Amino acid sequence: MSTPDPTSRPPTPEWTEARLMSIIDSAMDAIITVDESHCVIMFNNAAQRLFGVPASEALGSSLDRFIPERYRKDHASHVRAFGSTGVTMRQMGLLGSLAGLRADGTEFPIEASISQSALGGRRLYTVILRDISERKRLEEQLLHAQKMEVIGRLAGGIAHDFNNLLMAIFNCLTLATKGLEPEHPSRAALAQVYEASNRAALLTRQLLTFARKQVARPRIISTNEVVTGLEPMLRRLITDDIVLKAQFSPDAGNVRADPTQLEQVLMNLVVNARDAMPKGGTLTIETSNIVLDQAYCATTVGATPGPHVSISVTDTGAGMSKEVQSRLFEPFFTTKEPGKGTGLGLATCYGIITQSGGHITVRSAVGAGTTIRVLLPQVTGQPGKTALNPTPAPAARGTETVLFAEDSGVVRELITIALRQAGYTVLSASGGPEALLLSKEHLGPIDILITDLIMPGMSGKDLAAALFKERERTPILYISGGGDDSIPQQDNSGVHLLAKPFTTDTLLRKIRLMLDR
């Protein structure tokens, strides 16, 4: 028989209660117990941190002080109804949309579970609360990203169809103009049509940029060189009553992006900042290096950890409401007066930066100005020199055989006529399957494949892959009104891309260059 340990004693009620409170106070979630009159009788450490109220002040007070006023009546009725159900507990997340009220008056979304018990003839309710502000913010970011993706697909599809129409308009205008005498009265009208078509082509390019389908020519560039090189033009964009401040970090790193597109982003941001300060102010452009950690990336959709280069544009204008900020990068959304803007400027910025692997942040408040910050991944390596664009040579002729696939009847007929007039033999098809059939029936060589990228049934890529099995050395020229970054601009393998709209003269020069190479 064992001898009892003289130091071992049954725990006293006081010890048990202290131990229980120690466990409750160590919980990560806020735990509050109230009686039937909603008087707080327990308030743990997490609750003190969550609401910004010490337990000594919370105990004995009404639970209503932690609930926004508009919810108090409904909350009281819900608790009474719960008390009459006989259910002992409702799990976290089953109580609907709830909100808490901090000591400083700010509201925040919460998730809660509730349980009831009887003690000494009193009915007690214990609520476990969790602040879900961060989760809500991430959900909103994700929904916004998904919305932008859907809008981008729609914009890309519209731009693709419009570019096919613009192909016909541009080239028919060129043909019509060539047949007129220099002093013909119709020349002025045709010039107006051509100018309007150019503006339409610009809109489709902006839509494609937003949809991240614009053809880009990325290379390693110095952010400081891009910004300083553009500074004289930016000064001409703003009014005399706006002070432009440039604060460049001397060690700002290099990024991989299309320099022309990055310049477009800066000009769009400066124009928007200028328009936000109609009575003047200060516009500040800054460059700096920043390292994004896992914690930041976990709370920011589209962000990737690692070293980045930051370019920020800050104005001292009127600022923006939360509602405006939530739609800021949508195409055609604008707060400007009719005729003052298309609503594509910031949408274009969004597309360019996203396509370059970066993201954009916005910090703004009504009456407190706006800061829009562009963050691009920093890269190693030195910036390359910009290649000079040679003067276009005259459109060249040829005698080779061209396999041509295009689902748009107008574009197909236009290009087929131009190729045949230039001396080429053309096998013209309305899609991939028909093009493969023409290839099998043609006994001679096929010197080049020209195909639209986006076609129903079989894409241009699929057609090229199928043709490669039969004629593996055939050069490929993709044409696209929707753009595609996965197709290289210049490739020694013989794969090229020409973005719509283009003139037939441009096409003929491109074909001749590829065949001669």
Stretch 327-340: mean pLDDT: 72
Confidence (pLDDT) at 487: 52
Tell me the C-alpha distance between 399 and 402, whole Å. Answer: 9
CA-based nearest residue to 361, from 295, 305, 318, 314: 314
Please name the residues in contact with 226: beta carbons below 8 A apart, sequence gap of 6 or more. 259, 262, 263, 266
Pick the CATH number of 16-131 from 2.60.40.10, 3.40.50.11810, 1.20.120.160, 3.30.450.20: 3.30.450.20
User: Which DSSP string do the residues of 279-319 spell out, in sequence order?
Assistant: T-EEEEEEEEEEEE-HHHHHTSTT--SEEEEEEEEEE-S--
Could you tell me the pTM of the whole model?
Answer: 0.50
DSSP-derived 3-state class of residue 247: strand
Confidence (pLDDT) at 439: 92
Q: Which secondary-structure segment (H or E) carries 354?
A: helix 345-355
pLDDT band at 31, cuts 50/70/90? very high
What percent of the chain shows pLDDT beyond 70?
Answer: 83
136-210, what's its fold?
Helix Hairpins (1.10.287)
> pLDDT of 272-302, one tens digit each?
899 889 889 999 999 999 999 988 888 787 7
**Angstrom distances, CA of residue 258 to CA of 51, 55, 264, 265, 383:** 48, 58, 10, 11, 12
Out of 74-88, 242-256, 376-390, give the one with best mean pLDDT.
242-256
C-alpha angle 490-304-368 in degrees, rounded to nearest 5: 110
Q: Which secondary-structure segment (H or E) carries 270?
A: helix 259-275
Compute the mean pLDDT over every residue in the chain, rounded to the nearest whole number: 81
SS3 content of the chain, % helix, strand, coil (to 5): 40, 25, 35
Pairing type for strands 122-131 and 107-119 reads: antiparallel
User: Which DSSP string do the residues of 402-433 spell out, in sequence order?
Assistant: EEEE-S-HHHHHHHHHHHHHTT-EEEEESSHH
Q: Indicate the CATH number for domain 401-516.
A: 3.40.50.2300
Tell me the C-alpha distance between 348 and 345, whole Å. Answer: 5
**Cβ atoms 354, 213 nearer than 8 A:** no
**Residue 353 in tokens:** 């930066």
Question: Is 60 exceeded by the pLDDT of residue 491?
Answer: no
Question: Is 50 exceeded by the pLDDT of residue 96?
Answer: yes
C-alpha angle 160-161-165 in degrees, rounded to nearest 5: 115
Confidence (pLDDT) at 489: 45
pLDDT band at 505, cuts 50/70/90? confident
**Residue 252 in tokens:** 């700002």
Residue in this structure with the two tokens 């992006």, named with its chain if needed: 257
* Residue at 467: amino acid letter: L
Stretch 318-340: mean pLDDT: 78
Stretch 410-421: mean pLDDT: 89
219-379 placed in CATH 3.30.70.260: no
Tell me the C-alpha distance between 47 and 103, whole Å. Answer: 12
> pLDDT of 38-55, one tens digit each?
899 999 999 999 999 999
* Residue at 485: amino acid letter: D
- Could you state, in order of their start, the residue ranges of all structural domains in the chain? 16-131, 136-210, 219-379, 401-516
What percent of the chain shows pLDDT beyond 90?
Answer: 23
> pLDDT of 116-144, one tens digit each?
887 777 888 888 888 888 888 777 777 76
Tell me the C-alpha distance between 205 and 197, whole Å. Answer: 12
**Cβ atoms 168, 414 nearer than 8 A:** yes
